[in-house]
Amino acid sequence: MPKQFLLLFVLPFLLLSCSNIVFEQVVEIENGKWQYDQPAKFEFESPDSSGRYNLILLVDHLTDFEYQNTYVKINTKFPSGKENAQQLSLNLADKTGRWNGKCSGEKCTAAIALQMNTYFNEPGKYQIEVIQDSRVNPLVGIEKLSLQIEAVQK
């Protein structure tokens, strides 16, 4: 049983280490105080439409961040002009308060899956906005957001 347990933890790290990042953009949050009117904006050209991709949001926060989760609105604008909006909870800690991400010193980075194994069927420019949507403004302790698009290995 211990070997199987170890495999369950090692396999995801091996898969992530072999990932092929086709896009990455970082948005710094000024002074670690995320305001409602300061969305993190990401813009990219559609990758190969025949491929599959994972969209990952990396959230860098301080270890003294007050909340286990925070809500955001995600607005996506497609090349055709079509728009999609959704609310999402960014779960930064588990129910016991233990941080979900990698922590070092006073900072943590949590990887949040926005979409897995998706594709881009419209060629052109995509825009994704991540808007702070918690009960407090400003939200203190979020330092930066990064959007990564990883090609799924065939």
Q: Enumerate the domain spans of the chain.
A: 21-151
Fold of 21-151: Jelly Rolls (2.60.120)
The Cα 26–Cα 61 span in angstroms is 14
Q: What is the pLDDT of residues 81-138, one digit of tens each?
A: 999 999 999 999 999 999 999 999 999 999 999 999 999 999 999 999 999 999 999 9
The Cα 76–Cα 97 span in angstroms is 31
The whole-model pTM stands at 0.85
